[in-house]
Amino acid sequence: MHNNKQTLLLIHGFPLDRRSWNGQLDALKEQAHVLAPDLRGFGNDHRALPEAMSMDAYAQDLKDLLDEQHIERVVLCGLSMGGYIALAFLAAWPERVAGLVLANTRANADDEEGRKGREETALNAFDKGMVVIARGMLPKLLAEHTRNALPEITEHMGSIIAEQRPEAVAAAARGMAKRPDRIPMLPSIAVPTLIITGSDDVLMPLPTSQAMANAIPGSALVVLPEAAHLSNVDAPEGFNAAIRAFLKGIA
């Protein structure tokens, strides 16, 4: 622990990097020691990549990072793919987790069609390039009001996606395709848990979050109005307020 503050480990979504947490890094630094690493292969991370990067492998990287920094326990906050990784981390090292925030995510595995789509994404990353992927994804990631009223933020998110290496994107897509169903573990989650989502998240519709909240004992659900999949970008004040209240509750 740093100055008695909790460490908040922010785990970014796909296909983004630590910069997608820009609206949290400074805003939460009084309440927590905030860590927001680039996952393997994304952003400024240039470690070697396997063909498929499992959620367990990302979780292992994060655990190694905590070990290196001698950080014993953390509050995990994963958005979307980051949530899949947070659940993998919790399954492996529950004693290292002081609290869990699952944002715009889900616990179930991909179905057959979903897995096919992952392989297409992996191939498209190489063949069509990340600019095309960014263009296709942005309308689903950000709420309409962000795309209309905040062009700089919208362009920044687009360029973050466009800058990712196809190898990293493909490895993540293939890793997500292989992730296990974590629904069975939800009733046994014993750490304080906050679930955050956006009212307009078409990728992880509200019932998905409600089902997780119902299954995880004592968990709370915050639905941010007019926020889509990147709810931390669409509604940073609401997102940060929810995290602050959560941190206070488990201090």
Chain contacts with ligand MLT (rule: CB under 6 A): 13-14, 80-81, 176, 203, 229
Cα–Cα distance, 248 to 138 (Å, whole number): 33
C-beta of 3: minimal distance to ligand MLT in Å? 32
CA 115 to CA 109: how far, in whole Å? Answer: 9
Do the beta carbons of residue 169 and residue 192 sit within 8 Å?
no
* Closest distance of CB 95 from ligand MLT, Å: 26
Nearer to ligand MLT, 73 or 156 (CB): 156
CB of 81 to ligand MLT, least distance (A): 3
Cα(236)–Cα(199) distance, integer angstroms: 14
The whole-angstrom separation of Cα 51 and Cα 172 is 9
| Nearest distance from C-beta of residue 13 to ligand MLT, angstroms | 3
**Of residues 98 and 107, the one with the C-beta less far from ligand MLT:** 107
In whole angstroms, the minimum distance from the beta carbon of 198 to ligand MLT comes to 12
C-beta of residue 172 within 8 angstroms of C-beta of residue 14 = yes
CA distance 53 to 167: 10
Q: Identify which of residues 130 and 247 has a Cβ nearer to ligand MLT in the complex.
A: 130
Strand 97-103 relative to strand 193-198, pairing: parallel
R_g of the chain, CA atoms, integer Å? 17
Closest distance to ligand MLT from the beta carbon of 218 (Å): 26
Nearer to ligand MLT, 174 or 229 (CB): 229
Q: Exposed (0-12), middle (13-18) or buried (19+): which is 65, by Cβ within 10 Å?
A: middle
Identity of the residue, 224 or 247, whose beta carbon is nearer to ligand MLT in the bound complex: 224
d(CA 204, CA 9): 22
**Cβ contact 100:86 at 8 Å:** yes
Task: State which residue, 171 or 247, has the beta carbon closest to ligand MLT.
Answer: 171
